[in-house]
A and B are shown apart, each in its own frame.
Chain A
Amino acid sequence: MPFRPLSVGPPTLCDVTFSAPGAAAPQLNGPHRPAPGPAADEGLARRLRALACTAPLHDLDVRKANLAGEYGVYAMAEVALAVIDLVTLNMDFDTGADHEEIVAKVLPRVAAQTPRRPAAEHERVARWVLENLINVGSVDRGFRAVYGTFNTDGEYVRRDYDFKLIEEVPGAGGSVYLRATDEAVNVLVGALDTDVTSAQIAAEVKLEVLINRGRLADAQLAAEQARYRTVQYAETLRRTLDATRRNVRAVDWLETVPDMITEALDHVADRYRHENAILTNIRKARDESEEPEHKRRAAELVDIVKDCIRRHTQLQSRLLEAGPLFRAEQDRQAFATPTARSGLDLYGQLVAPLLPLPAERAIRVTDAFFARGTGLRTPSAVRVADLVEVLLTPPMEREHLGAEMPEPDLVATPDDSRFSEEQLDAAMELLDLPADAPRRLSGLLAEARRKDPELPYLVALLAVHAASPPVGTAYRQGEQQLLFAVDDGTELADPEFGGADLIVGTALLDAAGMAADRSEVA
């Protein structure tokens, strides 16, 4: 439990809730420290923000004491990191992770921390951690940290840094999905403020070296890091494509995006080759390894690298779609015939200049738009007499069960079978021949005719069926015997039927032998 010690001393740097900031940054900028230039301060501010991203995790371990019940034994930061891991891994192009899925997947880890506690408590812990990572209680569902910097005039300014770790995004059909934010991915991977591409290359190289030296535990870590990077890369592309669909001009398709696509395609090709090589290596390591623990780890690693390759392939197909998408959108958006009049460019002339303004000034513009852009409402006037009546009317009783089902009117269908059950029984009895005494069809028909004038038809029918007995089915079902009929060339002499006078008999099947065969085949 590497995060235990953190729960002892809460960081004094930042206040992660929305309450007023307490003792904040002064200790970092001591009284005798000369005001540094803004450039020097920039790096400090960046690190302060990075540090702030970890604060919600420490905060969980601090606040677990306030929960009703004995929750001190749970390592909350560990659960939180596991949750962020799971959310990140479940992020795909189109959707994020589902709430319930994440809770379900993190439960084994929570349960492993305290195997003796009830499952309901484990679930409560998992949900508490997830909700706190989203920060459900706050309006923005995010975190705020306060830190101080010196501005260009050398003046000390306290600033708010707002960030989220897990955000909720709308999915298909009104559902809500979870996504790990860039901040969360950075905290998780531990590569704060680094370039995506180079970090991935570094991770790959590290992985290869580790595998060559046989250090698989570290190799798995590196492989997982590589996968987070891949996900992050895909996310950047997805956003760019979304923006292009809305407005081609909002995205720099002249240089930035083509460069990014070229770079990403190179990157995918490179990674693909790389990871296939790694895959081969690990497979070898997996097959050759003697130690079961190594074998298991290598097998896990194979899965991870396979997943990486899958994600690369997905990224590549999206990359290849990007060019045609741009051209189609350009056709749609830019080459439409211009109308004679031109109008107000709502985005370029209103939304875009508005967003960088300070909120208190921007609000004047949005208020003006709202006042004129919402249309009209006819005020509703209520007569006192109606109001009294409405207020005094008891609420409508709702029928819980809905309307009564009508009794179905069933009509008995006439039995139109050619033969009755009794006739079938009689025929079967007649055909229940001893295995060593087959009989001619003519004799059977004559005997049947004595019992019932209709019966010969049924016997003839069954005998004809027996001419091609379902041996395979009987074999599979383990039947003991089977009715068969053979034509030996004798003509049938009968007043009602013509054809061959079949020899009808019963063949015994070797049930035990068949069973043995079956088990052998299986």
Chain B
Amino acid sequence: MTEYDADEVPQPDPASGTGEAGWGARAADAEPAPAGPAPLTPADAADAARLVSFGLQPKLLPARDAEYAELLRRYRDEPAFARLADAVAAGLGLVVLEVSTRAGMAVTAAEDSVFAVRMGDYARRASADSADRFLHGLAHLAVAALAFPRPEDLADDGYIGRITVNGVDAFVRQACRRLEERAEQDGHNTDPATDAPGLESAWRVYARRSATGATKDARRLAGSTTGIIAKAVTFLVDSGFLQRTGDDAGGAYRTTARYQLQVRDMAGSAAMAELLELGVVPVADGSATLLPGEDTDDLDLVAGAGLPFHSG
């Protein structure tokens, strides 16, 4: 993950990933030695904090706000100012993903930050019911997986993913169906033991939940899978990660630069780490460059079906 950051962030500071401690230290180094043209003043600190506050409004676009654009320019041109802004962000419990004109001051909440989103606040039912909690988490993962279906899409800064609510649901259901078919072929009985619901396969939890349902007031059934996915995308729109483009197929959306950064640098690797900890190793050598091909037998994908998928 850190190796992307080096070439993706044009500034001298590798902005992402390292967390608060590193930033605090660096900022402290910077202040006593203002070798630049002018020493930093409280006004500069105010400007740096202002830039971070712009970053906290994820739907705000630098192109639409002259002051924001000006502060971004300062961040790019004045290393001392950039370090100050990074320090302010770190002090607030924020991780800087990227600072650029396309994504703005892309910051995200560090773990345990006051800005972090908690599952309990996100969906009340989720804290009581582990199946619901899983489905809400899976919905977010599936939205990202469909928005960036191939590794290149996630890596390509210019890529804009497009998803629909029903599309995400169909995509997960298809994956579940493949697993079901495979289990049938292998003659496995996937019905879970009655007294151990936690051992039920994850795909079954999704497959069993109905896709939609009629309600009295013509709203989406909140507990259905499309309801859960719609909640996820609406939330992501508020986070400045998706933009609504239409009403087709339950709602159509496209991704923003921030979402790509968030998935690539934060969420994807965190989830990968957790998966590896569970002893599931989808990659042999742990490097992030391995792509489907030989390894996809277990997905029932066609191994090298004439598709020029490269690994590197």
Q: Which of A42, A358, A365, A372 contacts B266 (CB 8 A)?
A: A372
Q: Are A367 and B119 in contact (CB under 8 A)?
A: yes
Q: Are B151 and A367 in contact (CB under 8 A)?
A: no
Q: Which residues of A contact B270 (CB under 8 A)?
A: 368-369, 371-372
Nearest residue, chain A, Cβ from B107: A376
Q: Are A140 and B272 in contact (CB under 8 A)?
A: no
Q: Are A348 and B202 in contact (CB under 8 A)?
A: no
A405 to B193, CA, bound (A): 67
Asked whether A392 is an interface residue with its Cβ less than 8 Å from the other chain, the reply is: no
Asked whether A209 is an interface residue with its Cβ less than 8 Å from the other chain, the reply is: no
A343 to B305, CA, bound (A): 21
Asked whether B61 is an interface residue with its Cβ less than 8 Å from the other chain, the reply is: no
Q: Which residues of A contact B214 (CB under 8 A)?
A: 99, 168, 176
**B174–chain A nearest beta-carbon distance, Å:** 5
Q: Given the known inter-chain contacts A159-B189, A363-B133, please indicate yes or no for A352 contacting B263, CB distance below 8 A.
A: no
**B149–chain A nearest beta-carbon distance, Å:** 6
Q: Which of B56, B200, B267 contacts A378 (CB 8 A)?
A: B56
Asked whether A366 is an interface residue with its Cβ less than 8 Å from the other chain, the reply is: yes
A106 to B264, CA, bound (A): 53
Nearest residue, chain B, Cβ from A158: B194
Interface centre among A140, A357, A366 (most CB of B within 10 A): A366
Q: Given the known inter-chain contacts A176-B213, A250-B178, A368-B274, please indicate yes or no for A344 contacting B268, CB distance below 8 A.
A: yes
Asked whether A356 is an interface residue with its Cβ less than 8 Å from the other chain, the reply is: yes
Asked whether A174 is an interface residue with its Cβ less than 8 Å from the other chain, the reply is: yes
Pick from A68-76, A117-125, A263-271, A331-339 the stretch touching chain B. Answer: A331-339
A160 to B189, CA, bound (A): 10
Q: Which residues of A contact B152 (CB under 8 A)?
A: 336, 338-339, 342-343
Q: Are B174 and A376 in contact (CB under 8 A)?
A: no
Number of A-B contacts (CB under 8 A): 338
Pick from B19-27, B41-49, B73-81, B204-212 the stretch touching chain A. Answer: B204-212
Question: In chain A, residues 300-333, which have Cβ atoms closer than 8 Å to a Cβ of chain B?
Answer: 330, 333
A367 to B270, CA, bound (A): 10
Q: Are A376 and B108 in contact (CB under 8 A)?
A: yes
Asked whether B239 is an interface residue with its Cβ less than 8 Å from the other chain, the reply is: yes
Q: Are A359 and B271 in contact (CB under 8 A)?
A: no
Q: Are B275 and A353 in contact (CB under 8 A)?
A: yes
Q: Which residues of B contact A361 (CB under 8 A)?
A: 278
Q: Are B262 and A375 in contact (CB under 8 A)?
A: yes
Q: Which residues of A contact B205 (CB under 8 A)?
A: 359
**B73–chain A nearest beta-carbon distance, Å:** 24
Q: Which of A142, A160, A355 contacts B194 (CB 8 A)?
A: A160
Nearest residue, chain B, Cβ from A337: B152
Question: In chain B, residues 188-239, which have Cβ atoms closer than 8 Å to a Cβ of chain A?
Answer: 189, 191-195, 197-206, 208-214, 220, 223-224, 226, 235-236, 239
Q: Which of A173, A254, A336 contacts B302 (CB 8 A)?
A: A254
Q: Given the known inter-chain contacts A365-B274, A374-B236, please indicate yes or no for A360 contacting B211, CB distance below 8 A.
A: no
A342 to B149, CA, bound (A): 13
Q: Are B278 and A357 in contact (CB under 8 A)?
A: yes
Q: Are B239 and A352 in contact (CB under 8 A)?
A: no
**A260–chain B nearest beta-carbon distance, Å:** 13
Q: Which residues of A contact B172 (CB under 8 A)?
A: 351
Nearest residue, chain B, Cβ from A246: B171
Q: Which residues of B contact A356 (CB under 8 A)?
A: 179, 201-203
**A38–chain B nearest beta-carbon distance, Å:** 8
Q: Which of B140, B170, B177 contacts A370 (CB 8 A)?
A: B140
Question: In chain B, residues 108-154, which have Cβ atoms closer than 8 Å to a Cβ of chain A?
Answer: 108-109, 111, 113-117, 119, 122, 130-131, 133-134, 136-138, 140-142, 144-146, 148-154
Asked whether B285 is an interface residue with its Cβ less than 8 Å from the other chain, the reply is: no
Interface string of B288-312 (1 = CB under 8 A from A): 1111100110111110011111111
Asked whether B250 is an interface residue with its Cβ less than 8 Å from the other chain, the reply is: yes
Q: Which residues of B contact A147 (CB under 8 A)?
A: 191
Asked whether A215 is an interface residue with its Cβ less than 8 Å from the other chain, the reply is: no
Asked whether B280 is an interface residue with its Cβ less than 8 Å from the other chain, the reply is: yes
Nearest residue, chain A, Cβ from B137: A366
Q: Given the known inter-chain contacts A249-B292, A378-B56, please indicate yes or no for A254 contacting B192, CB distance below 8 A.
A: no
Q: Given the known inter-chain contacts A350-B268, A374-B140, please indicate yes or no for A169 contacting B199, CB distance below 8 A.
A: no
Q: Which residues of B contact A158 (CB under 8 A)?
A: 193-195
**A372–chain B nearest beta-carbon distance, Å:** 4
Question: In chain B, residues 37-59, which have Cβ atoms closer than 8 Å to a Cβ of chain A?
Answer: 56, 58
Asked whether A253 is an interface residue with its Cβ less than 8 Å from the other chain, the reply is: yes
Asked whether A403 is an interface residue with its Cβ less than 8 Å from the other chain, the reply is: no
Q: Are A168 and B189 in contact (CB under 8 A)?
A: no
Interface centre among A164, A252, A351 (most CB of B within 10 A): A351
Asked whether B269 is an interface residue with its Cβ less than 8 Å from the other chain, the reply is: yes
Q: Given the known inter-chain contacts A345-B150, A355-B201, A359-B201, please indicate yes or no for A370 contacting B136, CB distance below 8 A.
A: yes
Nearest residue, chain A, Cβ from B204: A162
Asked whether B166 is an interface residue with its Cβ less than 8 Å from the other chain, the reply is: yes
Q: Which residues of A contact B63 (CB under 8 A)?
A: none
**A376–chain B nearest beta-carbon distance, Å:** 4
A375 to B293, CA, bound (A): 32
Q: Are A347 and B145 in contact (CB under 8 A)?
A: yes
Q: Which of B4, B174, B258 contacts A246 (CB 8 A)?
A: B174
Q: Which residues of A contact B248 (CB under 8 A)?
A: 172
Asked whether B155 is an interface residue with its Cβ less than 8 Å from the other chain, the reply is: yes
Q: Which residues of B contact A246 (CB under 8 A)?
A: 146, 149, 167, 170-171, 174
Asked whether A190 is an interface residue with its Cβ less than 8 Å from the other chain, the reply is: no
**A211–chain B nearest beta-carbon distance, Å:** 37
Q: Which residues of B contact A176 (CB under 8 A)?
A: 212-214
Nearest residue, chain A, Cβ from B113: A376
Asked whether B65 is an interface residue with its Cβ less than 8 Å from the other chain, the reply is: no
Q: Which residues of A contact B192 (CB under 8 A)?
A: 159-160
Interface centre among A42, A99, A247, A344 (most CB of B within 10 A): A344
A360 to B165, CA, bound (A): 26
Q: Are B301 and A250 in contact (CB under 8 A)?
A: yes
Q: Which residues of B contact A136 (CB under 8 A)?
A: 213
Q: Given the known inter-chain contacts A358-B201, A360-B199, please indicate yes or no for A239 contacting B247, CB distance below 8 A.
A: no
Q: Are A358 and B198 in contact (CB under 8 A)?
A: yes
10 A-B pairs closest in CB distance? A366-B137, A373-B267, A375-B239, A360-B198, A343-B155, A343-B154, A159-B191, A362-B202, A141-B210, A346-B145
Task: Name 11 A/B residue pairs within 8 A (Cβ), A-sorted.
Answer: A136-B213, A139-B209, A243-B174, A249-B296, A342-B155, A359-B204, A361-B278, A366-B134, A370-B122, A372-B108, A373-B144
Q: Interface of A with B (CB < 8 Å)?
A: 21, 42, 45, 99, 134, 136, 139-142, 146-147, 149, 157-162, 164, 167-170, 172-174, 176, 239, 242-243, 246-250, 252-254, 330, 333-336, 338-339, 341-379
Starting from the known contacts A42-B189, A343-B153, A359-B199, 6 additional A-B residue pairs (CB-CB under 8 Å) come to A142-B208, A348-B301, A372-B262, A372-B267, A376-B109, A377-B116
